[in-house]
């Protein structure tokens, strides 16, 4: 998809991978519809920066994604202000630790954001995209949705859901001019990446964990959008891990077992 002159709607656009993505997308002269939990997390300087990079318009919409009941109204509000051709479901929450130790409220909130909001926003935007005859839904999963490490049960399950949703949707949309892109996001240096250490280190040695800068991943994702790829995956050690897990699951499991300790 040629992004020039189009509008891209994206959740979690104020920081981390979302902020890197909107900066990269602005360079394509696309307008941006930023969907953020708190409007004040987007400063006038940030809007100015995106405009200087090339975005003709920057819209900001406030939405707590854990409030499923207001998502349909949000989409109506967005389409009153602009006409997005791309939705990027980027926002997410991380949970971790042994299942019996995880906080039940945190699990529920994570599922609201990582699973429920991704499903409903995909549905509401899809209806609009089918009406307008063009669109793309980009879903930010994780390599953890496939490489299901111990101590990541609920988070890994939420990202496996995103993979299942997007792969099934891709097949439903074959005869249409709407398509999908699935992000198998690797370790990316953001606040969430730092939080992996807090949530996982007690039970799993993280010496194998590596990260790439958010700008590098954003470049790769935006190129995949432009080339209408259906998936974007990491290369290097994480890319190798994905292949090992898929084709040699027992070897992968044995390797992971050497890193894990319950106490
Ligand atoms: N970083 C990694 O290593 C990595 C690896 C694989 C996948 N991912 C995925 O990539 C995506 C972005 O992660 P990141 O690393 O950029 O994380 P981050 O720096 O922690 O940013 C998370 C974003 O999600 C937003 N968000 C969280 N809860 C929300 C809610 N209830 N309503 C609205 N927005 C909410 C946050 O908004 P506030 O600023 O208002 O909190 C923030 O913009 C996530 O889906 C994550 O699972 C990340």
End-to-end CA distance of the chain: 49
Q: Rounded distance, CA 83 to CA 90, Å?
A: 19
SS3 214: helix
Q: What is the pLDDT of residues 88-101, one digit of tens each?
A: 999 999 999 999 99
Domain ranges of the chain: 7-257
- From 9, 13, 14, 17, give the residue whose CB has the most ligand 1 atoms within 8 Å, as the site to mutate: 17
Which residue's alpha carbon is at the smallest distance from atom 17 of ligand 1?
A: 192
Q: Is the pLDDT of residue 18 over 90?
A: yes
Instruction: Characterise 29 by phi-psi region: left (phi > 0), alpha (psi -120 to 50), beta (else).
Output: left
Q: Would you state the pLDDT for residue 107?
A: 98
Q: Confidence band (pLDDT; 50, 70, 90) for 152? A: very high
* The ligand 1 atom nearest the CA atom of 13: 43
State in Å: Cα 254 to ligand 1 middle. Answer: 30
Query: H or E stretch including 58?
Result: strand 58-62
Give the chain's mean pLDDT: 97
Over range 16-32, report the average pLDDT.
Answer: 98
Does residue 166 carry a pLDDT above 90? yes
- Averaged over 97-116, what is the pLDDT? 97
CA–centroid distance, residue 18 to ligand 1 (Å): 8
Is it the case that residue 46 has pLDDT exceeding 90?
A: yes
Helical residues (DSSP H) of the chain, grouped into ranges: 16-26, 44-53, 71-81, 104-111, 118-132, 153-172, 191-200, 214-226, 236-247, 249-257
Calculate mean pLDDT across residues 224-234: 98
Across residues 248-259, what is the average pLDDT? 94
Give the integer Cα–Cα distance in Å for 258 and 221: 33
- Please tell me the total number of residues recorded for the chain in this structure: 263
Report the share of the chain in percent with pLDDT over 90. 97
The predicted-structure confidence for 49-62, as pLDDT tens digits, reads as follows 999 999 999 999 99
Q: Note the pLDDT of residue 208.
A: 85
Pocket of ligand 1 (CB under 6 A): 11-12, 14-18, 37-38, 41, 64-66, 90-93, 113, 140, 142, 185, 187-188, 190-193
- Average pLDDT of the segment spanning 195-210: 90
Q: Per the CATH hierarchy, to which homologous superfamily does domain 7-257 belong?
A: NAD(P)-binding Rossmann-like Domain (3.40.50.720)
Which of ligand 1's atoms lies nearest the C-alpha of 189? 1
Whole-model pTM: value is 0.98
Please, are residues 50 and 58 in contact by the beta-carbon 8 Å criterion?
A: yes
**Is 90 exceeded by the pLDDT of residue 209?**
no
Surface-to-core class of residue 103, CB atoms within 10 Å of its CB (0-12 exposed, 13-18 middle, 19+ buried): exposed
Q: What values do phi and psi take at 9, rounded to 5?
A: -95, 135
207 pLDDT tier (thresholds 50, 70, 90)? confident
From the list 155, 161, 184, 200, the catalytic residue is 155
Q: Is 200 a catalytic residue?
A: no
| Torsion angle of C-alpha atoms 54, 58, 64, 66, degrees rounded to 10 | -50
The whole-number pLDDT of residue 19 equals: 98
- Please give the number of the atom of ligand 1 that sits closest to the Cα of 15: 43
């Amino acid at each position: 998809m040629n992004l020039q002159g189009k509008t891209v709607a994206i959740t979690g656009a104020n920081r981390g991978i979302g902020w890197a993505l909107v900066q990269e997308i602005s360079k394509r002269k696309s307008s941006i519809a930023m969907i953020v939990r708190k409007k004040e997390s987007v400063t006038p300087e940030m809007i100015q920066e995106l405009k200087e990079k090339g975005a003709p318009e920057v819209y900001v919409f406030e939405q707590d994604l854990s409030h499923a009941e207001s998502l349909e109204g949000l989409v109506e509000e967005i389409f009153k202000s602009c006409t997005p051709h791309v939705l990027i479901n980027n926002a997410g929450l991380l949970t971790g630790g042994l299942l019996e130790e995880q906080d039940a409220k945190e699990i529920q909130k994570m599922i609201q954001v990582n699973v429920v909001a991704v499903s409903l926003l995909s549905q509401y935007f899809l209806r609009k995209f089918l009406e307008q005859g063009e669109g793309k839904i980009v879903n930010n999963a994780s390599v953890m949705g496939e490489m299901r490490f111990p101590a990541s049960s609920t988070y890994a399950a939420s990202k496996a859901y995103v993979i299942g949703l997007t792969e099934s949707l891709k097949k439903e949309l074959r005869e249409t001019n709407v398509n999908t892109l699935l992000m198998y996001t690797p370790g990316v240096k953001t606040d969430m990446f730092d939080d992996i250490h807090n949530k996982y280190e007690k039970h799993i040695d993280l010496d194998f964990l590596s990260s790439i800068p958010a700008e590098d991943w954003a470049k790769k994702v935006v190129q995949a959008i432009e080339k209408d790829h259906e998936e974007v995956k990491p290369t290097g050690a994480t890319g190798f891990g994905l292949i090992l897990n898929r084709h040699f699951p027992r070897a992968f499991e044995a390797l992971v077992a050497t890193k894990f300790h319950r106490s």
